[in-house]
Amino acid sequence: MSNRYSIFSLIKNGLSHNEKWGQAWRSPEPRREYDVVIVGAGGHGLATAYYLAKVHGVRNIAVLEKGWLGGGNVARNTTIVRSNYLWDESARLYEKSMQLWEGLSQDLNYNVMFSQRGVLNLAHTLQEVRDTQRRINANRYNGVDGEWVTPEQVRDIVPIINLNTRYPVLGGSLQRRGGVARHDAVAWGFARAADALGVDLIQNCPVTNIRTKGGAVEGVDTGKGFIKAKKVAVVVAGHSSVLAEMAGIRLPIESHPLQALVSEPVKPVIHTVIMSNAVHAYISQSDKGDLVIGAGVDQYTGYGQRGSFQSIEHTVQAIVEMFPTLSRVRMNRQWGGIVDVTPDACPIVSKTDIKGLYFNCGWGTGGFKATPGSGWVFAHTIAHNEPHPLNAAFSIDRFYNGHLIDEHGAAAVAH
């Protein structure tokens, strides 16, 4: 990397008044042809490009993005990272991702501010207590850390919590290795590292059609003309069905608005991530001091990157009930993203019936945590034209052969 960040580059650039930092990545014009064209420069698309170049030695790669790099869900999420999913297939996939997170800043030479401050999933009913304990046991069996915490321990971790709400807190699971990362930095870090390996990142370049011939992919029509490609890998989150339709493929996906909001910055009061399925709310505090709060999906499908007010209201009611002391904190900003929801709350990372066409989608409300892992297995799938063992179970075929992986329990509040 010509532009490597280090203590020496900090000093050197400091001495020149920080006016000589190089560009983090190029903005090239697209070539006429690539070995692999990746559609969508979100976290997953950029991670895919990076691992394709780095691990599989593919050099001739373009990432095409209709808007700006990192303008989609990758920079709209609430940045929760955890791997405590119930089923073996998902636990292994998310755990792979967790392990990549643990070395990511070093690997990318970019500080993604991954902070393992712990993720607390609260249980408010006896059934939730049983389900949570079952999940902790399943997690440990899969080598994923997790522990049961009593209401008193919950209070020690989060002193401002009100345990005796309408649905009293009966305990919870704690994954200490879980936490948060800075989402923009994840997009930028992967972009910069992929660019350094020769990947062309092309922004303002919407894909408008996927050309196929004789059951094989030929390339894509874009806002910048036709681009030929041996392989096309689609990673467009909320727009997956739109791209699938271009190739004549059907997906079991519905796109829903999902909203989040942040407060004005306040002194540190929440030192971990707290999630509650029962009252449907989750909250963490950013390093700046903003309280980061996530709502649920809107019931209707939509592509508008905004949702309805009552979804926000519902979440804020739950937050205020759990943390009465926050009732007068002002909210600064609120926004929405479009998430791609599957019937079993699990992703699709898969080959398709069209040769050379791959889809990675369906991460729904919880794919940020999977960013490095998703890129890792998708790159393998594209390079070898065969799934990696970790994503073999996540093919489109499962909706035809019935091998669904129902993660609604672990993914319900979903982030």
Partner 1 sequence: MLVIRCPWCGERAETEFNYGGEADIVRPTDAEHLSDREWGDYVFMRKNTLGLHREQWVHSHGCRRWFVAERDTRTYQFKSYEKLGAHAMEKS
| Residue 411 in the binding site for ligand FAD (CB under 6 A) | no
Closer to partner 1 by Cβ: residue 30 or 206:
206
Residue 47 amino acid letter: A
Question: At its nearest, how many Å lie between ligand FAD and the CB of residue 241?
Answer: 11
Interatomic CA distance for residues 318 and 149, integer angstroms:
21
| Residue 28 in the binding site for partner 1 (CB under 8 A) | no
Closer to ligand FAD by Cβ: residue 138 or 220:
220
Unique residue bearing structure tokens 């989060």: 158
Question: At its nearest, how many Å lie between partner 1 and the CB of residue 257?
Answer: 9
Angle CA(74)–CA(377)–CA(94) in degrees, nearest 5? Answer: 65
Give bridge partners of residue 358 from the DSSP assignment. Answer: 233, 351
Interatomic CA distance for residues 207 and 243, integer angstroms:
8
Q: Which does 260 bind (CB under 5 to 8 A by kind): ligand FAD, partner 1, none?
A: ligand FAD
Closest C-alpha among 175, 154, 176 to residue 85:
175
Q: Using CB under 8 A, which residues numbered 373 to 402 contact partner 1?
A: 399-402
| Residue 375 in the binding site for ligand FAD (CB under 6 A) | no
Question: At its nearest, how many Å lie between partner 1 and the CB of residue 354?
Answer: 16
Residue 367 amino acid letter: G
Contact 377, 96 (CB under 8 A): yes
Q: Using CB under 6 A, which residues numbered 42 to 101 contact ligand FAD?
A: 42-45, 64-67, 71-74, 76-80
| Residue 66 in the binding site for partner 1 (CB under 8 A) | no
Question: What angle in degrees, to the nearest 10, is found between the helix axes of 88-102 and 126-141?
Answer: 70
Closest C-alpha among 3, 37, 27, 22 to residue 231:
37
Interatomic CA distance for residues 332 and 61, integer angstroms:
39
Closest C-alpha among 375, 60, 31 to residue 202:
31
Q: Using CB under 8 A, which residues numbered 238 to 267 contact partner 1?
A: 239, 241-242, 250-255
Interatomic CA distance for residues 405 and 414, integer angstroms:
15
Interatomic CA distance for residues 222 and 308, integer angstroms:
32
User: Of 367, 372, 373, 387, which lies in the binding site for ligand FAD, with binding defined by CB under 6 A?
Assistant: 367
Closer to partner 1 by Cβ: residue 195 or 298:
298
Q: Which does 206 bind (CB under 5 to 8 A by kind): partner 1, ligand FAD, none?
A: ligand FAD
Question: At its nearest, how many Å lie between partner 1 and the CB of residue 93?
Answer: 21
Residue, CB closest to ligand FAD: 42
| Residue 362 in the binding site for ligand FAD (CB under 6 A) | no
Structure tokens at 334: 């609120």
Question: At its nearest, how many Å lie between partner 1 and the CB of residue 345?
Answer: 13
Structure tokens at 238: 């909320």
Structure tokens at 241: 């069905």
The end-to-end CA distance of the chain, in Å, is 33
Q: Which does 400 bind (CB under 5 to 8 A by kind): partner 1, ligand FAD, none?
A: partner 1
| Residue 369 in the binding site for ligand FAD (CB under 6 A) | yes
Structure tokens at 104: 């990511």
Closer to ligand FAD by Cβ: residue 136 or 234:
234
| Residue 311 in the binding site for ligand FAD (CB under 6 A) | no
| Residue 41 in the binding site for ligand FAD (CB under 6 A) | yes
Closer to ligand FAD by Cβ: residue 49 or 154:
49
Q: Which does 124 bind (CB under 5 to 8 A by kind): partner 1, ligand FAD, none?
A: none
Question: At its nearest, how many Å lie between ligand FAD and the CB of residue 4?
Answer: 25
Q: Using CB under 8 A, which residues numbered 305 to 334 contact partner 1?
A: 308-310
Q: Please report, to the nearest 10 degrees, the dihedral formed by the alpha carbons of residues 287, 195, 178, 266 taken in order.
A: 10
Sequence-ordered strand ranges (E) for 193-249:
200-202, 207-213, 216-222, 225-234
Q: Name the site residues for partner 1 (rule: CB under 8 A).
A: 239, 241-242, 250-255, 299-304, 308-310, 343, 399-402
Q: Name the site residues for ligand FAD (rule: CB under 6 A).
A: 39-45, 64-67, 71-74, 76-80, 206-207, 235-237, 239, 243, 258-260, 294, 337, 339, 363, 365-369, 415
